[in-house]
Amino acid sequence: MPRTLVIGTRNRGKVREIAAILAPLAVDPVPLDALGDVPPVLETGETLEANARAKALGYARATGRWALADDSGLEVDALGGAPGVRSARFGGEEGSDARNNAALLRALADHPPETWTARFRCVMALATPDRVLAVTQGTCEGVITDRPAGTNGFGYDPHFYLPALGRTMAQLPAEEKNRISHRARALSAMKDRLVPLL
């Protein structure tokens, strides 16, 4: 396996999390922004796995290197699993955390708070320019809160409350989040797949 691993995202929060978790391995995680004008791979899949596979393979082919990509989503039970694969665009504009969170709270307004159980789900894919080598996933269970708290996260993190810890995801130090988050769990499983390749 090449030592350089393209991280298929321009989301700086994701890049930091992935790089921190991969730190013990002998790989050099390279974000897309460091590679110049790499065209984006559109997330047109109907599932998180389809998007993760498409992005990993697309970025591997575009750069000629191995690539790691994920698609993550928030699944709220009261909303039948929504926003799910549409999490990044739930508010109508991709990348707008404020609009996405506002749309989430509007959608939950008619549901009693005790039904606001939810989970973050992450599906991660590793690919060469020729094929997808591995797919893993991880989840993290919690409850949506209408009172955001914390500044350490991004996306829906300030509204994702972890009852066992008494804090939102955005209130966790990075080290703790990188142990228990959905992305951490998917990446931990991917590390197990990467080690034999290294």
Peptide bond into 83 cis (omega under 30): yes
Look at residues 62, 63, 61, 70 and name the one whose alpha carbon lies nearest to residue 129.
61
What's the chain's Rg over C-alpha atoms? 17
| Contact of 129 with 73, CB cutoff 8 Å | no
Q: Look up residue 178 and give its two tokens.
A: 């990188």
> Which entry of 33, 71, 77, 110 is annotated as an active-site residue?
71
Is residue 71 flagged as an active site residue? yes
The residues that are catalytic are: 71
